Amino acid sequence: MPFWRAADGTLREVEGSFARYVDSLAPYFDEVVLCVPVLSKARGAGTAIRSANVTLAPLPHFDGPVQFYPRLPLMIPRLLRFVRSVDLLHHRLPTPAAVFVSACGRLFNRPEFALVVGDLHALLPSMPYRGLKRLLWRAYTAFEERNVQRIADRSLTFANGEALAVKHSRQGRAVIQTQTTTIDADAVNTREDTCNGGRVRMLTVSRIDPRKGLRVLPEAVRLLADAGIDAALDIVGGPVGAPGEDERRAIVDAANAHRVADRVSLLGPVPLERLLPAYRDYDIFVLPTLPGEGIPRVLLEAMAAGLPVVVTRVSGIPSLVTHETNGLLLESASASAVADAVTRLVRDGALRRRLISHGYDTARAHTLEAQAARMMRDVSARLGLSLRLSVTC
């Protein structure tokens, strides 16, 4: 996600999860230089980088490959200067810039490590493109998949969840499974139960695009109403590009068609500092996401806040969520599957409290501090680097 420099001098990120990730790694290094797309003006409130040792090597803003590749001649000199200025490279994949940064790194003999957080190939069925655009996206996906695998084959690589770790591991070079997160040790709530009020308040936190399966949610709210459950849904997150805008309109149209527009609210992006405490105002978290990502960090945010989680059994999610232990796994991203799972939680207090309790255990095991310590232990040992803090976990 893009950054910008705020009027008070702080670096801010649109979404917040990457800013928290950077803050978790910053104590291990003398300086962290972010080679990221930078906006010319603020986009919302954003989330500030807290660490004083983080600086920028700015790139022109791009949302994806369509904006990146026409600017490649402008990017290359900046990428070369960036690589020459640092001692260690870290790639967060997939991103179109990574293969070029990695090539520059080999030119200057820079050690590197990578974190794979998404699966472009798995996203293909959910992309809304047709005709020539679909052919071009398939070609780009194949190109980028090869680039990610080349980096994984040459570098110390971590992956967000078991599915991505297995996909990118090769004989003699295993990818290390990790879990991206935004929560710290103080973020775990203490409430034992939800659904104690009259209306059941459901929450979804997600970027709005076709890959997230969000357009089924208005029908799920209507099915709950038909079953006698007074439920409302808030969706937090902004649209991503033109497909995201189309998806947002489809969600609004579905809410109107199912006559639940008064029960479904699209709140747009919310800064992480305000979002994390806001989770505690809700009863159930739902995310009918489609294949293509590792493990959404919002699942741990919901668990830490004491929300029972309903999510699809796709990608790396089953390596974090165990069905009927710390969440409910859906076999399909359908309105009826979501409604059935929510109905179970509303009507079965023992199940709901069990999911909340085990969700807290899961959240405590996957804090920012724990994840960073485990990753930096491996970076230090396998790349032979002496880091600023002792690396323990």
Beta bridge partners of 176: 158
The pLDDT tens digits for 132-174 are: 988 998 999 999 999 999 999 999 999 998 889 999 999 989 9
**Which of 48, 2, 52, 9 lies closest to 29 in space, CA to CA?**
52
The total number of residues written for the chain in this structure: 393
Asked if 35 contacts 101 with a C-beta cutoff of 8 angstroms, the reply is yes
Q: What is the structure's pLDDT at 43?
A: 81
- Residue 49 CB contacts under 8 Å (≥ 6 apart), including other chains: 10, 11, 12, 13, 19, 22, 23
Q: Which two tokens stand for residue 127?
A: 């992309």
Q: What is the structure's pLDDT at 390?
A: 56
Query: Can you tell me the distance from the alpha carbon of 109 to that of 112, in angstroms, rounded to the nearest whole number?
Result: 9
Q: What is the structure's pLDDT at 168?
A: 96
198 pLDDT exceeds 90? Answer: no
Give the residue carrying structure tokens 């998949």.
Answer: 145
3-state DSSP assignment of residue 23? helix
Instruction: Give kind and range of the element (H or E) at residue 309.
Output: strand 309-312
The pLDDT tens digits for 223-256 are: 999 999 999 999 999 898 788 899 999 999 999 9
The pLDDT tens digits for 41-93 are: 888 788 899 999 999 999 998 878 889 999 999 999 999 999 999 999 999 99
Q: With bands split at pLDDT 50, 70 and 90, how would you rate the model's confidence at 393?
A: very low
Query: Can you tell me the distance from the alpha carbon of 361 to that of 95, in angstroms, rounded to the nearest whole number?
Result: 33
Arithmetic mean of pLDDT over the chain: 93
Strand spans (E) along the chain: 3-5, 11-13, 32-34, 37-38, 47-48, 54-56, 59-60, 89-93, 112-116, 156-160, 176-178, 200-205, 231-236, 264-268, 284-287, 309-312, 328-330
Instruction: Give kind and range of the element (H or E) at residue 151.
Output: helix 131-154
% of the chain surpassing 70 pLDDT: 99
Mean pLDDT computed over 180-187: 87
Q: What is the structure's pLDDT at 246?
A: 92
Q: What is the structure's pLDDT at 315?
A: 83
- 342: buried, middle or exposed (CB in 10 Å: 19+, 13-18, 0-12)? buried
The pLDDT tens digits for 249-295 are: 999 999 999 999 999 999 998 888 889 999 999 999 999 999 877 78
Asked if 218 contacts 254 with a C-beta cutoff of 8 angstroms, the reply is yes
Query: Can you tell me the distance from the alpha carbon of 355 to that of 350, in angstroms, rounded to the nearest whole number?
Result: 9
What pTM, to 2 d.p., does this model score?
0.84
What are phi and psi for residue 11, nearest 5 degrees?
-85, 130
Mean pLDDT computed over 95-122: 94
Q: What is the structure's pLDDT at 392?
A: 47
Asked if 50 contacts 368 with a C-beta cutoff of 8 angstroms, the reply is no
Q: Tell me the CA distances in angstroms from 111 to 105, 147, 385, one per residue in order.
A: 7, 17, 10
Give the residue carrying structure tokens 């590792």.
Answer: 294
The pLDDT tens digits for 351-378 are: 999 999 999 999 999 999 889 999 999 9
Q: How does DSSP assign 364-393, residue by residue?
A: HHT-HHHHHHHHHHHHHHHHT---SS----
Q: What is the structure's pLDDT at 16?
A: 84
Q: What is the structure's pLDDT at 306?
A: 97
**Which of 277, 212, 286 lies closest to 246 in space, CA to CA?**
212
Sketch out the chain's domains with CATH numbers: 3-183+367-383 (3.40.50), 185-365 (3.40.50.2000)
**Which of 132, 142, 138, 179 lies closest to 158 in space, CA to CA?**
179
Q: What is the structure's pLDDT at 172?
A: 87
Query: Can you tell me the distance from the alpha carbon of 239 to that of 249, in angstroms, rounded to the nearest whole number?
Result: 10
Query: Can you tell me the distance from the alpha carbon of 165 to that of 294, in angstroms, rounded to the nearest whole number?
Result: 9
**Which of 322, 294, 291, 290 lies closest to 308 in space, CA to CA?**
322
Q: With bands split at pLDDT 50, 70 and 90, how would you rate the model's confidence at 2?
A: confident
